Amino acid sequence: MAQVERHAYDVVVVGAGGAGLRAAIEAREQGMRTAVICKSLFGKAHTVMAEGGIAASMANVNPHDNWQVHFRDTMRGGKFLNQWRMAELHAREAPDRVWELETWGALFDRTKDGRISQRNFGGHEYPRLAHVGDRTGLELIRTLQQKIVSLQQEDHREHGDYEARLKVFQECTVTRVLKEDEGGGTEESAGRGRGGKVSGVFGYVRESGRFFVIEAPAVVLATGGIGKSFKVTSNSWEYTGDGHALALLAGAPLINMEFVQFHPTGMVWPPSVKGILVTESVRGDGGVLRNSEGKRFMFDYVPDVFKEKYAQSEDEGDRWYEDPDNNRRPPELLPRDEVARAINSEVKAGRGSPHGGVFLDVSTRLSAEVIRRKLPSMHHQFKELADVDITAEAMEVGPTCHYVMGGVDVDPDTAAATGVPGLFAAGEVAGGMHGSNRLGGNSLSDLLVFGRRAGLHAAEYTAGLGGARPAVVEWQVDAAAAEALRPFSAEAETVPDGVPENPYTLHQELQQTMNDLVGIIRRQGEMEEALTRLDALRVRARRAGVEGHRQFNPGWHLAIDLRNMLLVSECVARAALERTESRGGHTRDDHPAMDRRWRKLNLVCELSDPADAFGEVSVGRREMDPIRPDLLALFEKDELLKYLTDEELDR
């Protein structure tokens, strides 16, 4: 039997970003003994990098804002593919989730009358993003982290132990969700099929390399995204799609995996920082996009569905910043998918900047002092990393892989994963909320709204089980340990040329494949080629080998992560091949138009053979529930006609 450390908790949260921490706070406040597990140090999750803000219709800056307008914007941004009930809950609850942060010590930027200030962002009709300069994610995560500390201080006063009811296991990686034995008692039958309840998680401690099991009836996945499967990305090493893969392996399906958001503005130079994000606030605060001819090209790229909502001339766009009630917004503030495609086209047409991007200029519109105050970390980032002073010169920017709309298929109200009792998912790892394209600022609010719901319902689920908790099955623990150790014995296995594969090389090849063949613009032949290459990489990944020992060994960690990245990449490629239309974050060169018949179809990815972690993924189609009539009534019929089929509208 494998050597493993054992713990038992009521609720385990995998992930310590905004979604995970908010879930943990809720579960603990519901009286559950709660564990949080994260790969990095506490307080370093991806959420810390969010810049622009958090969307909530508090109406502090424009009194016309309310949840209905926010809901409308979200559905438009997602091209109506959103799980509408999630979009509704999100729009309704976001303001409360932001205000609650203030009671935990958050200090947002203020309006003149002392309320939380809100800024403009792409696709949002009114100024809606609560922010702190351009470091909103840091404020969010620090506030949640400090709230957790304050709950721990409470426990210390009561029990003499900070960790009596809420413990953070930092620098630990979960590699398997464990499930109860469903009766067969053998490897073939137990815990593999759909329906078996969650019994806990298996993972390793990064520092020591030792294994651990946490027994728990409820597991909340809050692991974030998948961007590390792409070469040019704004995401960090943590974004290897772990939660997506853990769900698949546990028998829970993923939806909408074809929708990957490429943020229009990443840095393009120098090469070592290519992909690092340039926040949308630069445009929200007045930055304009120009091509090598000095032209504001976005005016040529306003799609029909948005024609009435955006300025037709530079003058009108400029006036909007001062007088938004009588002018329309400039097209630089179109949803991200539109702007990213436009930049891509300009560069392809030979009108790009010297390093293959376009120019983003804020220096012509704002004074140096205002830029330094409103965009301090962008100013710093360009100065330090690219020798560019954004108060005086334009930035060079181009699209970068940023966010995945697809994720675990969940119940909108409870965040429960489909088909696996006890499994929940919230934040970027969950699918549905953003449809085919996420609006800026809607992620941070999503984390809080559904993080809280996941924590709440995980707690209720555990409480509802009473004493009848699913047991951890020993052979699953042994199998998980053997799987994790395989990279150390790769050399011993029979391989054709006798040498193990270097995990770093495999990773680079995977990133190149996804970037080139399943990137921002997609074609059938290229995606088929990608699937062939992924097949080959999967075979080679079984032989990924590492040197050294188990103590803090990044090569080993990467070898383990490859399984997840390959699974997730296969989902993206297969679903993208299947969807023969262009919508939001999915653009097909060979099917350039949006097709109303695809609007209500979700593509559902599952593992063909749940027992084979390096196996194939199958894609199925599923119809979405019709949108509730009172929500449909929030739109003009003319607008709905662009998205919904006639039959849907007649109903």
Ligand X SMILES: Cc1cc2nc3c(=O)[nH]c(=O)nc-3n(C[C@H](O)[C@H](O)[C@H](O)COP(=O)(O)OP(=O)(O)OC[C@H]3O[C@@H](n4cnc5c(N)ncnc54)[C@H](O)[C@@H]3O)c2cc1C
Residues 366-405 as x/- pattern, contact with other proteins by CB under 8 A: -----------x--xx--xxx-------------------
**Token pair listed for 179:** 């499930």
Q: Which residues pair with 311 in a beta bridge?
A: none
Which option in other proteins, ligand X, none does residue 535 bind, with CB closer than 5 to 8 A by kind?
none
Cβ nearer to ligand X, comparing 284 with 519: 284
By CB under 6 A, is residue 261 in contact with ligand X? Answer: no
By CB under 8 A, is residue 56 in contact with other proteins? Answer: no
Figure out which of the listed residues 118, 152, 229, 234 binds ligand X, where binding follows CB under 6 A: 234
Element (H, E) at 129: strand 129-130
By CB under 6 A, is residue 235 in contact with ligand X? Answer: yes
Inter-CA distances, 496 with 39, 532, 560, 562, 612, Å? 34, 20, 22, 21, 22
Q: Beta-carbon neighbour count of residue 539 at 10 Å?
A: 11
Choices 172-180, 271-279, 318-326, 345-353 (CB under 8 A): range interacting with other proteins: 271-279
User: Among all residues, which ones are annotated catalytic?
Assistant: 336
Helices and strands: H and E segment counts in the chain:
18, 20
Figure out which of the listed residues 269, 403, 450, 643 binds ligand X, where binding follows CB under 6 A: 403
Residues 417-436 as x/- pattern, contact with ligand X by CB under 6 A: ----------xxx-------
By CB under 6 A, is residue 40 in contact with ligand X? Answer: yes
Q: Beta-carbon neighbour count of residue 215 at 10 Å?
A: 17
By CB under 6 A, is residue 27 in contact with ligand X? Answer: no
Backbone angles phi, psi at 79, to 5 degrees: 55, 40
Rounded least distance, CB 56 to other proteins, Å: 11
Which option in ligand X, other proteins, none does residue 443 bind, with CB closer than 5 to 8 A by kind?
ligand X
* Alpha carbon distance 605, 607 (integer Å): 7
Inter-CA distances, 340 with 25, 168, 263, 400, 447, Å? 37, 38, 6, 9, 24
By CB under 6 A, is residue 38 in contact with ligand X? Answer: yes
Cβ nearer to other proteins, comparing 117 with 443: 117
Q: What DSSP letter does each residue of 570-581 carry, written as one string?
A: HHHHHHHHH--S
Choices 235-243, 285-293, 332-340, 600-608 (CB under 6 A): range interacting with ligand X: 235-243
Inter-CA distances, 313 with 126, 320, 362, 389, 422, Å? 20, 11, 18, 28, 54
By CB under 8 A, is residue 132 in contact with other proteins? Answer: yes
Name the burial class of residue 162, with classes exposed (0-12), middle (13-18) and buried (19+) by CB atoms within 10 angstroms of its CB: middle
**Residues 316/405, Cβ–Cβ less than 8 Å:** no
Rounded least distance, CB 445 to ligand X, Å: 7
* Alpha carbon distance 308, 571 (integer Å): 36
Which option in other proteins, ligand X, none does residue 38 bind, with CB closer than 5 to 8 A by kind?
ligand X
By CB under 6 A, is residue 138 in contact with ligand X? Answer: no
Cα angle 322, 326, 327; round to 5: 70
* Alpha carbon distance 261, 431 (integer Å): 13
Rounded least distance, CB 651 to ligand X, Å: 34
Rounded least distance, CB 242 to ligand X, Å: 3
Figure out which of the listed residues 26, 181, 238, 501 binds other proteins, where binding follows CB under 8 A: 238
By CB under 6 A, is residue 213 in contact with ligand X? Answer: no
By CB under 6 A, is residue 173 in contact with ligand X? Answer: yes
Q: Is the dihedral of CA 205, 211, 215, 219 positive or negative?
A: positive
**Residues 216/201, Cβ–Cβ less than 8 Å:** yes
Cβ nearer to ligand X, comparing 339 with 531: 339
Please name which of 476, 498, 477 lies closest in space to residue 543, comparing C-alpha atoms.
498
Q: Where along the sequence are the contacts to ligand X (CB under 6 A)?
A: 14-20, 37-40, 45-47, 49-54, 136-137, 173-174, 222-224, 234-235, 238, 242-243, 277, 403, 427-429, 440-444, 447
Q: Where along the sequence are the contacts to other proteins (CB under 8 A)?
A: 40-44, 46, 48-49, 58, 95-96, 99-100, 102-105, 107, 109-110, 113-115, 117, 132, 135, 138-139, 142, 146-147, 149-150, 152-153, 156, 162, 207, 236-238, 269-273, 276-277, 377, 380-381, 384-386, 502-505, 508, 546-549, 551-556
